[in-house]
Amino acid sequence: MSTEFARTWQHAVVTGGAGFVGSHLCTALLDAGTEVTCVDDFSTGRRANVAALLDRPGFRLLQADVAEPFAVDRPPDLVLHFASPASPADYLRLPMHTLETGSLGTRHALELAHHAGARFVLASTSEVYGDPQQHPQSERYWGNVNPVGPRSVYDEAKRFAEALVTAQAGTYGTDVGIVRLFNTYGPRMRGHDGRAVPTFIRQALAGEPLTVTGDGRQTRSLCYVDDTVRGVLAAAAHGMRGPVNIGNPDEITMLDLARLVITLTGSDADVRYIERPVDDPAVRCPDITLARDKLQWEPRVAAADGLRRTIDWFRAHSADPAPSPGAPTAAHRR
């Protein structure tokens, strides 16, 4: 993966580094010559995502829950806080852990960055906009979020984390940045994580009907993971506080996405309509004017190309088991 960022980092800590996006960040940083400490509790991340990195010089793997105080063996100059359940299947299964990671976990990662004098970047999300009444969504939009709905554990955890990061910078002068990620997809996603791209690909490859929620006219804006990583590292290097949207402004309906996946996989599967989840956003599309102007960043990978790469990865890897409903791991029981 090629990355373009002008600033050189000596040691980066990536919380949630064994997750989908986090593991790609670890790889990109190592490729750029940065030593990396990957911190993950494996509640949703997977060791397989970083297995190829374990023998690389400068890579360390620390199993820890960031909702508890944690320490690394040397001070970092960059902290990328990506720890959090991020898919509906995960945050609905781990509601308290999601909220604790967004609150206590963000506080602990901020403290690590502050004491080390490091640059801190929070991975926020387009979910802070809720079911938006502004379209496309700019960073100035405050959002339309149901604070007690089923998605609120994730939405509000990220909104609180943004407030905490902003307060930390204003109170203590910590060097912080906020990136709001939109619908990233690519290799290393889990087939049963509840998001549209891996669900459709898994179903198409198995010859199962692709389950489209509602009438399928709701839209998402899909950003391939390589583009997302470039955007995150550009924001880290720039030094901007943000928030800044990192996503692809090209919208696609869920029905059209399902049909595109069927075409690209060569599947003969049909589409099956199912009930739409509560508080499922009708539209999602980033205004990336700020990222273009300040970071000189925009996505490069077209949806068809990114989906082909993702499909190839799914063909080469056996599907992950569906998450068992209910309890978090013992480490997360209170």
Q: Which residues have a catalytic role annotated?
A: 154
The answer to whether residues 125 and 157 touch, using CB atoms and an 8 Å cutoff, is no
The answer to whether residues 149 and 206 touch, using CB atoms and an 8 Å cutoff, is no
**Which of 176, 186, 177 has its CA nearest to residue 229?**
186
Which one-letter amino acid corresponds to residue 8? T
The answer to whether residues 235 and 170 touch, using CB atoms and an 8 Å cutoff, is no
Residue 14 main-chain phi, psi, to 5 deg: -115, 105
Indicate the DSSP class of residue 268.
Answer: -
Please name the residue that has the structure tokens 């906020």.
178
Q: What is the Cα–Cα distance from 332 to 330, expressed in whole angstroms?
A: 5
What torsion, rounded to 10 degrees, do the Cα atoms 118, 123, 87, 150 define?
Answer: 110
Take residue 247 and report the two structure tokens written for it: 């996503």
SS3 of residue 180 by DSSP: strand
Q: What is the Cα–Cα distance from 259 to 292, expressed in whole angstroms?
A: 31
Take residue 206 and report the two structure tokens written for it: 């198995």
What torsion, rounded to 10 degrees, do the Cα atoms 99, 101, 102, 103 define?
Answer: 80
| 7: CB partners within 8 A, 6+ apart | 236, 237
Take residue 198 and report the two structure tokens written for it: 């891996």
